[in-house]
Structure 1
Amino acid sequence: MKLLGASLLGTVFGDEVCYRHNQCEVGCFTNLPPWGGTDARPGSKLPNLPSDLNVNFHLDTTLETGVNIDYGNFDSLAASSFNPENPVYFIIHGYFDTGDEGWLQRISALILEQENANVFRVDWGEGSRTIQYAQAATDTQVVGGSVGCLIKDMEPFFRSMNSMVSKITCIGHSLGAQACGYVGQNVQKRYGVKLPVIHGLDPAEPYFKDTPDEVCLGYSDADFVSVIHSDATQFLSGGVQGLGLSYPVGHVDFWPNNGTNHPGCEGGLFDQITDNGGIWEGLRDFAVCYHQRAIRFFEESIPRNCNYKSYKCKRWTDFYEGYCLESWDNNLLPEMGWNSIHYKDIMPKPNLNEVYLNTGDKKPFCVHENLQRLYFNANTDRNLELDLEIQYLHSSGSPITLKINESPITPYEGFQMRTPLTLKENLGSINSLWVKLDFAGGLINLSHYATIDRIYIKHGEVQEESIYCPLEASMKVGQTYIFEKCQ
């Protein structure tokens, strides 16, 4: 059935609706497959009117912050401190957030500390704050179209469309990441060129899982699409789907802590409030801690307080056990978050590159990855049950003492013990090691020997390795021995 109706903002024709705002065509939208009536989207929803979403743009520059810009209205932008000489950033929030959330303001402020820029915080809170998640997910198309209208308002500031688009980056969380995908599609249709960069912070999976490229954020939406997966649990107890995409979609997909089970998220409500500096953000992180971690990681990556180096690996278990600290292709270790753009032109093909990293339990979340191998020689008694403790005397700070084994070890001639060392502290340059082997059980005989021939250590993030040798030829169990770099 064909429905005819008209208003100032929209005209409906059957299963399609076309919207405009001020002098700009926001776009035409349908509820036909793949947008509706599919397994991923069983409903037949159409996006709401732009006026219902009340999309607002809050412009932050080094001269002024929080200036409201009316999109589709060139005069509104012209009267602001918008500077076409500077980069342009759009930050788009997700479900139940607004453009005035603390995390959007913090990211905006951090960007402005790095460079003179035009940062637009995109506020569609009247659409996102609804119990009807499927409707909010559908409305991200209008959000993307509204950003497209503001980009169109910028045209008179630039000599060419290519020079304008080349300055634009979109940063989105959850549904906001999906909206960034629509921004990218809008730009390609209107100008025939791609956005340079999209940063997807845990792009929403419900209502987008296994949908085609035109529906879900993907690497075709920009020249470089960087994705942080932080709530990628496919099915939690009770069959509830994770909030973030559980499969790769970008040019590089980062999987911190395998995209789920982040250290620190098991803490109580008070811990979250303390760590986030506010009751509302603490409450939200307590409820959806995994999903919010992508924001926290990205935020810390901007001033480079955290060096989020990541590692190519076939699977998470291999990385977790330390098998992947050697990089691929000329020591390429992409940094998760803001600085991932530096690896745009040197990432290996194909487009989907999945990389892994660990994080800590609280700010700063960055950790340092090291790989250690111990080689036992012939002067080692069999069937000993031992505990191993090593003190690392290094150039970056106070000595670090670690118990290396979780369960007793039973070394023998030729035995190799490989251990990943994930540390909050940076070991820096290690001057010497103090190694002690203690009895963990069984009959104690002080004449037992368990001699380590050499110790190999590789610093993952700088791809440097060193080998340490004992100053004495044999090691009695229960005593401490010094290792220094082999000559």
Structure 2
Amino acid sequence: MSDIWVLGLLGCLLGIACGEKVCYPKLDCFEDNVPWGGTAERPIARLPWSPEKIGTRFLLYTSSNLDQFQELKPDKASLKGSNYDSDVRTHFIIHGYLTKENENWPVDMCKTIVPVESSNCIVVDWKEGSRTTYPQAANNARVVGAQVAQMIKFIKDTTRQGTDTFHIIGHSLGAHAAGEAGSRTRNLGRITGLDPTEPYFQGTVEKVRLDASDAKFVDVIHTDSLPFNPTVGLGMSQAIGHVDFYPNGGEHMPGCNKNPVSQYPDIDGIWEGVRKFSICNHLRSYEYYGESILNPSGFAGYPCSDKEAFDSGTCFPCANKVCPTMGHFADKFGISQVSKTNFYLNTGKAKPFSQYVYRAKVTIDGTRSQPGFLHVALHGDQGSTPLLQVHVGLLTPGSSYEATLTTEQNVGQLTHMTFRWNNHIYNPLLPKFGATKIELVRGSDSKTYAFCGEGPVHESFKQKVNPCQ
């Protein structure tokens, strides 16, 4: 007998999980036995509340009613009286457990998505079912997922809309509710998990949590993946999708304070303690996703084994000369090419979070070797970057210096570059250095550029470096 089943039996004997069951009409029956309770991952068993007590609502936004939602119910009169369009794609957005910090983000996301792609966007509001103890909310999410699956089936049966045109976006516990809906919906198009919660889900069997079998394409963004105990990382570190993105390594997001070590007696105490501190890392996942809707090219992900390999530059540029973009357009790159792959990228500390990465090789000429600084700036048809440091140290004529350059500015197609050098200290001999050639590789698609300079220049002079002829 496996350890998990032994734990389940012990839980039953202790009155924690005794194989009870509850059934809700038109949905399903739900049990609290193994694997739903009495296991090492889910020590406290709870039966989910009724749909009436959870109070799930489906709030529809379309291009015809972007300022005011229409409440959608699984009946023909409700659907017919709404602005729902079965000829376009449909997004469901499911919030998670920690809704008090930002209850409006699903509505904001719908209002961003709809103008971009003229779709139906449905906010799944289950706040009443999420404002309870964590073990209870984790099980209430099962009913929410079943309700989403019921709504998709009703729309499909009523309008003949294909299930591959439905996309569910879930944050925190909402990601696992999305997995529940996907497991009940054959050929569901896509699920996006935004930092799926770790407690009660990481390490469980697939039927309990979001996994790659729940939709034709499952993409996951991990932003708070430190262990829950003792570092209070709220999100899963486990890769569970066809593609899993780990921005900034997936643990600490720039601009966020580190979650404190908590010493609380139970899981609800820990979650309450987290409310008093920063949950910034956990929330970053939907902030990144929201920005990616309007700025997809700024979140290129690089296939890599881990953060250390990514930081070393060994994963640059992307294989096959294309990087999938984290976020809304992650499904545009071909599932077969990126299946079961982890991707890494960096983001900024604050909005805009997007970043653009290049690899530069700068070859210089000059009067004599001496210590100094090398900088370059990128200029394109959409803007320019500030000067970016390539090298600090000894400058030697005829030598080449390489660096990875990261910028928040999307310059578009490059037109020219700027080169500048500086002394460590003033040199009365007035040496000169210039860029004879700058070779640049764009990380997102491996596009290469070559720029050639003409002669050395004095310190702090900005040398324009044009495309090589």
AA at the equivalent of 2:88 = N
Could you tell me how far 1:166 is from its partner in structure 2? 2.4
Residue 446 of structure 1 contacts residue 478 of structure 1 at CA under 8 Å; is this kept in 2? no
The corresponding residue for 2:170 is 172
Q: Which residue of 1 aligns with 2:265?
A: none
CA shift in 2, pair 1:440/1:53, >3 Å = farther
Q: Quote how far apart the aligned CAs of 1:27 are.
A: 1.7
In structure 1, how many angstroms separate the alpha carbons of the residues matched to 2:425 and 2:314? Answer: 27
- Change in CA separation of 1:42 and 1:429 when aligned onto 2, cut-off 3 Å: same
Contact 1:91 / 1:119 at 8 angstroms: preserved in 2?
Answer: yes
1:357 to 345, 348, 353: 345
CA 1:376–1:213 in structure 2 vs 1: closer, same or farther (change >3 Å)? Answer: same
Query: Of 219, 225, 232, which residue of structure 2 is paired with 1:226?
Result: 219
Distance in 1 between the 2:112 and 2:275 partners? 22
Note closer, same or farther for the CA distance 1:167–1:56 as it changes in structure 2 (3 Å cut): same
- Structure 1 residues 86-485: aligned runs within 5 Å: 86-97=88-99, 101-130=103-132, 132-159=133-160, 163-187=161-185, 193-234=186-227, 239-266=230-257, 287-304=278-295, 307-329=298-320, 331-348=321-338, 351-375=339-363, 381=369, 384-397=370-383, 400-405=386-391, 408-411=392-395, 416-427=400-411, 428-439=413-424, 446=429, 454-472=437-455, 483-485=465-467
8 Å contact kept, 1:370–1:420: yes
Alpha-carbon contact 2:416-2:451 (below 8 Å) kept: no
Describe the shift of the 1:248–1:153 C-alpha distance in structure 2 as closer, same or farther (beyond 3 A). Answer: same
Query: d(CA) in 1 for partners of 2:236 and 2:316?
Result: 25
Say if 2:298 and 2:410, in contact at 8 Å, map to a contact too.
no
**In structure 2, do the counterparts of structure 1 residues 79 and 20 end up closer, same or farther at CA, with 3 Å as the change threshold?**
farther
How far, CA to CA, are the matches of 1:288 and 1:240 in structure 2? 12
C-alpha distance after superposition, 1:277-303 (max 9, x if no partner) = xxxxxx989831111111111112223
Give the whole-Å Cα distance in 1 for the aligned partners of 2:34 and 2:140: 16
The one-letter code sitting in structure 2 at the alignment partner of 1:387 is F
- Residues 424/284 of structure 1: CA separation in 2 closer, same or farther (3 Å cut): farther
Distance 2:333 2:296 in 1: 19
Cα distance in structure 2, aligned partners of 1:173 and 1:338 = 14
Q: CA RMSD in A?
A: 3.2
Q: Sort the Cα spacing of 1:466 and 1:154 in 2 relative to 1 into closer, same or farther, 3 A.
A: closer
* CA distance in structure 1 between the partners assigned to 2:380 and 2:117 by the alignment: 35
Deviation at 1:386, TM superposition (A): 2.3
Provide closer, same or farther for how the CA distance between residues 146 and 479 of structure 1 changes in structure 2, counting only shifts above 3 A. closer
Deviations 1:371-426 (A, max 9, x none): 11234679863xx4322233445544356323434xx4235688653211111123
Please list every run of 5 or more consecutive structure 1 residues that lacks an aligned counterpart in the other structure: 1-12, 188-192, 268-282
Segment drifting more, 255-264 vs 88-97: 255-264
1:425-466 CA distances to partner (integer Å, 9 max, x unpaired)? 23441424323141369xx57377777653321122242222
Cα distance, 1:379–1:323 mapped onto 2, change above 3 Å: farther
Q: Distance in 2 between matches of 1:478 and 1:341?
A: 46
Structure 2 partner of 1:52: 53
- CA 1:109 to 1:479, structure 2 compared with 1: closer, same or farther past 3 Å? closer
Kindly tell me: are residues 412 and 33 of structure 1, through their superposed partners in 2, closer, same or farther at Cα, counting changes over 3 Å?
A: farther
Give the 3-state SS of the residue equivalent to 1:207 in structure 2: coil
CA contact (8 A) 1:393 1:400 kept: no
- Change in CA separation of 1:458 and 1:285 when aligned onto 2, cut-off 3 Å: farther
Superposition deviation, residue 222 in structure 1: 0.4
Q: Residue type of the partner of 1:389?
A: H
With over 3 angstroms needed to count, the CA separation of the structure-2 counterparts of 1:15 and 1:419, relative to structure 1, is same
Shift of 1:486: 3.5
| TM-score computed with the length of structure 1 as normaliser | 0.79
1:19 correspondence with 2:12: no
Partner Cα separation in structure 2 for residue 296 and residue 176 of structure 1: 15
Tell me the TM-score normalised to structure 2 length. Answer: 0.82
Aligned partner of 2:70 in structure 1 is: 67
Q: How many residues were matched structurally?
A: 435
Q: Could you say if the C-alpha distance between residues 120 and 400 of structure 1 is closer, same or farther in structure 2, counting changes exceeding 3 Å? A: closer
Q: 1:362 to 1:74 in 2, by over 3 A?
A: same
* Secondary structure of the structure 2 residue equivalent to 1:362: coil
User: What residue identity is the alignment partner of 1:242?
Assistant: G
User: What is the CA–CA distance in structure 2 between the aligned matches of 1:450 and 1:434, rounded to whole Å?
Assistant: 10
Deviation at 1:183, TM superposition (A): 0.2
Partner Cα distance (1:386, 1:169) in 2:
53
**Structure 2 unaligned residues grouped into runs of 5+:** 1-16, 259-273
